[in-house]
Chains A and B, each alone.
Chain A
Amino acid sequence: MRRPVAAAGPAALFLLCACAGVPDEEGPALLTEEGVDAARTALSAALGRATITLGEPSATTAPVLVVLPPRPGPYEANSPALPLRFDVRSDAEGCRLVPEADGRRTLTLPKSACRPVPPR
């Protein structure tokens, strides 16, 4: 059995690691502005970083959330640092950040953190 995300303080409100298979009916979603804040809080706890810097594109306009690595120092001239990428998806149970590498374990945010992808 997988263990849940280690949560700390208020971040625990947002951290309910699903630790289960992703339902088939889930779909891509965008984050609301409040959802971005919730994502930062959840990621801060999960990654153990006080500051979470997001990359491009904005998760309010595309169903993907990019977390930038800590900035390399001036002597890190061969840095293998890469951003982390999450798909933003929603289902009946909530709004989820699904790591690219493993779709089964996710960070779950309040359902209000997500909104539908507008039709093109």
Chain B
Amino acid sequence: MISVMAGVHRSNAARCAALALLAACSGGGGGSSSSPQPSRAPTPAPTVSTAPTWEPGTYPASSTLANRCERPRTGVDLEGNPFPDRAGSLAYEKFWLRSWTHETYLWANEVPDRNPANYASPVAYFDTLKTTATTPSGTPKDDFHFSQPTEDYLRDRNSAPAASYGARLAVIDPYPPREVRVVYTDPGTPAAPVLARGDRILSVDGEDLVYGGETEAALDTINDGLFPRAAGETHVFEVQDTEGRKRSVTITSANLSEAPVNTVRVLDRDGGKVGYLLLNTFSPYATEAALADAVQTLADEAVSDLVLDLRYNGGGLLAIASQLSHMIAGPAYTRGQTFEQLRFNTGVGGTNPITGGHNDPVPFFAEGLGFSYDDGAVLPVLNLRRVYILTTEATCSASEAVINGLRGVDFEVELIGSTTCGKPYGFYPEDNCGQTYYTIQFQGVNDKGFGDYADGFAPTESFDGFAVSVPGCSVADDYTYPLGDPRERMLAAALQRRETGACPGLTMAKAAAPAWTRGAVQSGPPLIPRRAPLADERDMRLPGGRL
């Protein structure tokens, strides 16, 4: 059923997004949605008439410096939008970075005002425009600061579906003896019938993956096979299953989009039915409908508990994370509550400095938003009292927002696994003169105003003294059994926790540590995955190497 008017749970945040359109209607310029436009139809802003000069502590409006380029682009970008560039200089580009950082960077007051003239390029200057503070664990507070050519940014975000086999691979050890294993396969893909979780890849097109790759050409053979460039490529792999049996498989790549919901299962257990939901991303718009369908399936089965497997989920859309949280907890917990509030730098008050709109909280959305599930259609709910969430260091961003958002309304969350990545931050990528910059601009906080989990969330039983402690069990990932199999170590621990209140022994957590964490000697050329948005475990990692 479609509601004609906004539903009762429809948010101010949605209205905020619509307000951005009205800004365009009134000629106000600025962003046209809650996500910025990499190349907006240009609305020329007043420009400074002379090359900018450095006056410490004085920051011209970034709008007066934007798109004044040393090498202006002409024509349209990959999405058909005209480039907004005008003649300028490297000085303009660096001064734009300086003012934009001052206006929007979350920790702008921790950035020293350095003279842009002392830096050879905008990118070199940008690298300095961040805080050098550290988290309690000693890691950099801002480990998410980077840029990339805008052409790459646009290509990446428009590349789905991409050539793949439909298998996610983990490069557990890139050095000989190399270890590459199958993490999971997506249902209905070329990999699904021939590869299984835990399979170790021994060779690619006859090239020894474990000890070979001594030449550049040999490494290329391995990479080309693991990460196909185009649909229709056929490669031959020798693989070894978790019981040591070897076999040869031939797979042809296809253009695929990652399946957000990989597995939905109902487990009959003592004390009632337990739902298991493996959700690997919040990014594709198809996630919204896939999640609603999955939750409806679990609701139809009247599950009394849920194990939500986010161990490989690097995040995506906060709105869908909000919807999932509502579908788990139900209106008794979520009605009228805040899922997440975006906290910007201290200088912007109640305004979102990127969109220019009100910084309204993200509610727990109780209805479809139109990504792929009908706008205004009521979402199914499970009305549970607790959720067991399976986590690893790959559990990041919007996935962590689920944990934090639910805890913010006193919904019981149990973590089973290991410490999450610790990214309560976000950004709106911004193009200037052909380079897209990512600078942390907001921190998400829950209904209680909490969002300080830069060192991640960890089960209470873990030894991670810096992460935010959440009730649960410390358990390592387990490639021995398929995901969703009650014997699989993390799921088994969740079921045990549910049924007995106890955790399995900690020795289990150390048994499956990847080779490189055990201090393996690294010799020989490393295997460096070239690109595999669907097929390797690096798809949500930042270029800096951190999730």
A residues whose Cβ falls under 8 Å from a Cβ of B:
2-6, 8, 17, 28, 45-51, 55-57, 62-64, 66-87, 99-102, 105, 107
Residue of A nearest to B318 (CB): A80
B157: interface (CB < 8 Å): yes
* Contact partners of B246 in chain A: CB under 8 A: none
* Contact partners of B285 in chain A: CB under 8 A: 55, 68, 71
* Contact partners of A107 in chain B: CB under 8 A: 25
Question: Interface digits, B385-423 against A, CB 8 Å rule (1 contact, 0 not)?
Answer: 000000000001110010000000000000000000001
Contact across chains for A81 and B35 when beta carbons are under 8 A apart: yes
CB pairs A–B below 8 angstroms (28 shown): A46-B32, A47-B33, A48-B37, A48-B81, A51-B80, A55-B371, A56-B368, A56-B372, A66-B370, A70-B35, A71-B158, A71-B285, A74-B156, A77-B426, A78-B397, A79-B318, A80-B13, A80-B442, A81-B33, A83-B17, A83-B370, A84-B17, A84-B20, A99-B21, A100-B6, A100-B15, A101-B16, A102-B19
B369: interface (CB < 8 Å): yes
Contact across chains for B18 and A101 when beta carbons are under 8 A apart: yes
Contact across chains for B371 and A68 when beta carbons are under 8 A apart: yes
Question: Interface digits, B356-368 against A, CB 8 Å rule (1 contact, 0 not)?
Answer: 0000001000001
Contact across chains for A55 and B319 when beta carbons are under 8 A apart: no
Given contacts A4-B25, A78-B427, A85-B375, 6 further A-B contacts (CB under 8 A): A47-B33, A56-B368, A68-B370, A71-B285, A77-B426, A85-B18
* Contact partners of A62 in chain B: CB under 8 A: 2, 374
* Contact partners of A78 in chain B: CB under 8 A: 315, 318, 397-398, 401, 423-427, 444
B171: interface (CB < 8 Å): no
B residues whose Cβ falls under 8 Å from a Cβ of A:
2, 4-6, 10, 13-22, 24-27, 32-35, 37-38, 40-41, 43, 76, 79-81, 153, 156-158, 160, 283, 285, 289, 314-319, 342, 362, 368-376, 396-398, 401, 423-427, 429, 438, 442, 444, 533, 539-540, 542
Residue of B nearest to A79 (CB): B317
Give the docked Cα–Cα distance between A32 and B429 (Å): 36
Contact across chains for A47 and B32 when beta carbons are under 8 A apart: yes
Q: Give the total number of A-B pairs whose CB atoms are below 8 A apart.
A: 207
Smallest beta-carbon distance A33→chain B, Å: 19
Residue of A nearest to B155 (CB): A73
Q: Which of the residues A2, A3, A84 comes within 8 Å of B21, measured between beta carbons? A: A84
Residue of A nearest to B11 (CB): A82
Supposing A50-B79, A82-B13, A82-B319 touch, asked if A55 and B375 sit within 8 A by C-beta, the answer is: yes
Give the docked Cα–Cα distance between A64 and B4 (Å): 7
Give the docked Cα–Cα distance between A4 and B20 (Å): 15
Give the docked Cα–Cα distance between A85 and B17 (Å): 9
* Contact partners of B396 in chain A: CB under 8 A: 77
Contact across chains for A70 and B33 when beta carbons are under 8 A apart: yes
Residue of B nearest to A71 (CB): B157
Smallest beta-carbon distance A48→chain B, Å: 3
Contact across chains for B4 and A28 when beta carbons are under 8 A apart: yes
Give the docked Cα–Cα distance between A83 and B2 (Å): 16
Give the docked Cα–Cα distance between A70 and B26 (Å): 21
* Contact partners of A82 in chain B: CB under 8 A: 13-14, 16-17, 33-34, 319, 369
Nearest 5 Cβ contacts at the A-B interface = A50-B80, A77-B315, A66-B370, A78-B426, A77-B397
Contact across chains for B375 and A84 when beta carbons are under 8 A apart: no
Contact across chains for B35 and A69 when beta carbons are under 8 A apart: yes
Give the docked Cα–Cα distance between A100 and B10 (Å): 10
Contact across chains for A83 and B314 when beta carbons are under 8 A apart: no
Supposing A74-B156, A78-B397 touch, asked if A69 and B33 sit within 8 A by C-beta, the answer is: yes
Greatest chain B CB density within 10 A among A5, A50, A71, A78 is at A78
* Contact partners of B283 in chain A: CB under 8 A: 72, 74, 76-77, 79
Supposing A50-B76, A56-B373, A80-B318 touch, asked if A85 and B156 sit within 8 A by C-beta, the answer is: no
Give the docked Cα–Cα distance between A69 and B285 (Å): 10
* Contact partners of B2 in chain A: CB under 8 A: 57, 62, 64
Give the docked Cα–Cα distance between A99 and B6 (Å): 11
Smallest beta-carbon distance A70→chain B, Å: 5
Contact across chains for A75 and B34 when beta carbons are under 8 A apart: no
Give the docked Cα–Cα distance between A74 and B535 (Å): 13
Contact across chains for A80 and B24 when beta carbons are under 8 A apart: no
Contact across chains for B426 and A74 when beta carbons are under 8 A apart: no
Contact across chains for B375 and A70 when beta carbons are under 8 A apart: no
Smallest beta-carbon distance B458→chain A, Å: 19
* Contact partners of B289 in chain A: CB under 8 A: 56
Contact across chains for A85 and B40 when beta carbons are under 8 A apart: no
Give the docked Cα–Cα distance between A77 and B317 (Å): 7
